Amino acid sequence: MSQTKNSTLKQLPHKEIRHRLFGSVEPIEKTKPTEKENMHDIQNEKKDFLFELDSVGITNVKHPITIKSDMKPTTQTTIGTFSFSSSLPQTSKGTNMSRFTEQLNNYYSEGFVVSFTSLKAFTKELSERLEQQDATIEISFPWFFERNAPHTELSGLNHADITMAVTYDKLSGYTMCASLGGKVATLCPCSKEISEYSAHNQRGNITMEIEFTSDFTEGAIDWKSHLLEAAESNASSRLYPVLKRPDEKVVTETAYENPRFVEDIVRLVAADLYEMDFVSKFKVSCRNEESIHLHDAIASVSFDKSAKSSE
Ligand SMILES: Nc1nc2c(ncn2[C@@H]2O[C@H](COP(=O)(O)OP(=O)(O)OP(=O)(O)O)[C@@H](O)[C@H]2O)c(=O)[nH]1
């Protein structure tokens, strides 16, 4: 902001006086301890507090994170929204909430690259730091990937919404879950069938929620790009950031050649997840934003491979 001298402006009272004008008062004489060791530690009181808690912690913590991908850009910084929690025994009044963000900052200062490997280490350390049986971390973030137009190959960035969650439990070990929400185009099979020409289409919002097999290690597999491919390869068309006319022709014709109902989408994506060795359970949902209605069309399917294999 440029500051121009203007001698006609009136002189304001000093900032301290302005604060008093708006209600600030002098501090009273303080009597409670200011040293941590002399402060009462309410959260660590031990009594019978009626119920054990499933979960206590903090949520909606925004923090920069680094993630890796086998799609370009292979390393990126994005913004993660974190939740941290643990269970709490009946005998504890409260958790030590500062320890969640304290540990996040420790990891960040050492170059925290978010992966299932690092989140496993994070949750185990967190459960020890909290002196609790378990700890859970959940991170949601937009993941960006390069996408080339189908004919000209002009590139730009698209993104999908990712959530990664890891729970460590001293007795049962690790649980790893993820979800990916991606957008596609769908062309209505009914409209194509009944009309002399054209067919209406929709924007499809596909969400895949998966639980990983317990032996899953990231090593060779970028699960993000596998899930993205499951969503996009089963749609009428992928979405592109840059399209010239020859690209638009390809997209239009590809969609016409691959009509999909919302039901078709969830079944086809489910089939791909069914075939992925690292997925043990999944739920696929799709919400199609209808272009010829004000409402949306929805469908979902869930499957637990471990339950089916033991039948
Ligand atoms: N348990 C609990 N803590 C809260 C709640 N609301 C706020 N707090 C936070 O508790 C913080 C204190 O965190 P603690 O980790 O217990 O602090 P501490 O006991 O000095 O930390 P340690 O030395 O790690 O034990 C305060 O900064 C508050 O923000 C709540 O509902 N429950």
ipTM: 0.93
Q: Is residue 11 part of a domain?
A: no
Q: Is residue 19 part of a domain?
A: no
Rounded to whole angstroms, the Cα distance separating 121 from 201 reads 45
Residue (of 94, 18, 23, 3) closest to 56 by Cα position: 94
Q: Cα of 95 to ligand 1 centre, how many Å? A: 7
Q: Is residue 73 part of a domain?
A: yes
CATH number at residue 301: 3.10.270.10
Q: Is residue 145 part of a domain?
A: yes
Question: Ligand 1, from 37, 93, 96, 129: best to mutate by most atoms within 8 Å of Cβ?
Answer: 96
Number of structural domains found in the chain: 1
Range of the domain at 218: 54-309
Q: Cα of 44 to ligand 1 centre, how many Å? A: 10
Q: Which atom, in ligand 1's list, is nearest to the CA of 41?
A: 19
Q: Which atom, in ligand 1's list, is nearest to the CA of 94?
A: 1
Q: Is residue 262 part of a domain?
A: yes
Rounded to whole angstroms, the Cα distance separating 101 from 112 reads 13
Q: Is residue 136 part of a domain?
A: yes
Residue (of 220, 207, 55, 66) closest to 139 by Cα position: 66
Q: Which atom, in ligand 1's list, is nearest to the CA of 36?
A: 20
**What pTM was estimated for this model as a whole?**
0.93
Does residue 98 line the site of ligand 1, with CB under 6 A?
yes
Q: Cα of 94 to ligand 1 centre, how many Å? A: 8
Does residue 74 line the site of ligand 1, with CB under 6 A?
no
Question: Residue 93 gets which letter from DSSP?
Answer: S
Does residue 200 line the site of ligand 1, with CB under 6 A?
no
CB 45 within 8 A of CB 83: no
Q: Which residue has the tokens 């002009």?
A: 154
Q: Cα of 96 to ligand 1 centre, how many Å? A: 5
Q: Is residue 71 part of a domain?
A: yes
Can you give the pLDDT of all 311 residues of the chain as single tens digits? 555 566 789 999 999 999 999 999 999 999 999 999 999 999 999 999 999 999 999 999 999 999 999 999 999 999 999 999 999 999 999 999 999 999 999 999 999 999 999 999 999 999 999 999 999 999 999 999 999 999 999 999 999 999 999 999 999 999 999 999 999 999 999 999 999 999 999 999 999 999 999 999 987 789 999 999 999 999 999 999 999 999 999 999 999 999 999 999 999 999 999 999 999 999 999 999 999 999 999 999 999 998 876 66
